[in-house]
Amino acid sequence: MPLPRLAITLGDPCGIGPELLLKSLPEIARKWQVRVYGSRSGLAILPEPGIDFSFRGSKLYFQALEVLWIDPIPEITPNQLQPGAPSSASGRCACEAVKRAALDIMSGEADALLTLPLSKAAAHLAGYRIQGHTELLQEATGSPVVRMAFLSPTLNVALHTVHQSLRSAIEGLDAQRLAETMIFAAKKLGILLKAPQIKIGLCAINPHAGESGAFGDEERILEESIELARAAFCTNASGPNMPIAIQPTFSGPYPADTIFQKACRKEFDVVVALFHDQGLLPIKLLEPERAVNLTLGLPFVRVSPDHGTAFDIAGKWLANPNNTLAAADLALSLLR
C-alpha cells in the first residue's frame, strides 16, 4: 500500500526551517511520501554541518532519500539570504511556497500539509499583508471560515481571536461570533478527534470570571454565547453534511487560572480561549515539544510545529525537531 503524501513548506529560509527539515526528514519519510516546497537557497546558506545533501534536477538527495523539491521562486539566490536575517526575499520565498503547496494539494498532488515557520515581518516586507499562515491559507484555498487550534497529548486549545491586540480582542467581543467559534470547533474537532460528544470549556476574560460583575461584566456576553451554541445543536445536532452526529457540551465561562488545569484532568476535550496568549501560554508551557498547530476549516489537513522562526539560533544547528515530528504524526493520525 503506498504511503500517504505530505507536502512540507520550508518556511522562512533564513530561520530554522531548513535545519528542521533536514533533522526530521529521515523519520518523516519512513511514514510519508514527501515533497518539499521552498527556496533551495535556504539549504545552500546553511553553515557546513557535516550533513551531505545535493540537488539533481527537481530532486533533493539526502542520506538515502530522494525527495521531490518545488522551488516557486528559483531566482532567489544564496547571496540574497542570510541565516538569522529575515528580509523581503525570504518572506517572498516562504509565502509563495505556501501558496503553491496549497494549490497542489487541492489539485490532488498531496494529501496533507506541514508548514515550517514563516516570519510575518518578512512577509510584510515582501508585500504580503497577512497575519500568518492561517490567513494566507484561507486566502489561497478560498475557505470561508478558519480557526486556529493547538493539539497536544495534555491539552487542546482553540482560539477565538488570533493575531490582534488584546484591546481589540476585548472590545470586539460579540456573543454570536463567539458562539460561532465554539460551534465550529465542536464540529471540526469532534470529527477529527472522533469525539462526537466533545466537551468544550470556555475561558473567562476577567479575574475569577468577573466575580458576579465585581471585576467586569464581559462574562455576560460569554454566558450568552454558550446559550447560543447550545441552542444551535438542539435544533441541528449534526449539520447538513456532517459524517457523524455531533452532540457537544458547552460550559463556562471558567476563570483562566483554573480552566486549563481542569482540561488537563480531561474534564474538557477542548478549551476555547478568547485571545492569543490566553490559549498559547499554557499549552507552550505544558507541551513545549509536542504541541501542534492545526488549522480548522481548510479543505485538507494542515499542521505546523507550535513555535516560530527562531532567527536567533538560525544556522547554529540548535533547533529541536520534536514539534515538527509531532506535527507529521498528528497529520497522519488525522488523515487516517
Q: Which amino acid is at 198?
A: I
Which pLDDT score is estimated for 217? 82
Q: Please give the domain boundaries of the chain with CATH numbers for all domains.
A: 1-146+289-336 (3.40.718.10), 154-286 (3.40.718.10)
pTM of the full structure: 0.91
C-alpha span between 138 and 146 (Å, rounded): 7
Which pLDDT score is estimated for 6? 98
Separation of CA 223 from chain center: 28
Q: Judge contact between 56 and 91, C-beta under 8 A.
A: no
Along the 336 residues of the chain, how does pLDDT read in single tens digits?
Answer: 789 999 999 999 999 999 999 999 999 999 999 999 999 999 999 887 667 888 998 999 998 899 999 999 999 999 999 999 999 999 999 999 999 999 999 999 999 999 999 999 999 999 998 888 999 999 999 999 999 999 999 999 999 998 889 999 999 999 999 999 999 999 999 988 889 999 999 999 988 876 777 677 888 999 999 999 999 987 554 454 555 688 999 999 999 999 999 999 999 999 999 999 999 999 999 999 999 999 999 999 999 998 899 999 999 999 999 999 999 999 999 987
Which pLDDT score is estimated for 103? 96
Q: Judge contact between 314 and 15, C-beta under 8 A.
A: yes
CB proximity list for 194: less than 8 A, separation 6 or greater: none
Q: Judge contact between 31 and 328, C-beta under 8 A.
A: yes
Q: Judge contact between 90 and 78, C-beta under 8 A.
A: no
User: What is the DSSP-derived secondary structure letter of residue 212?
Assistant: T
Which pLDDT score is estimated for 49? 65
Which pLDDT score is estimated for 269? 96
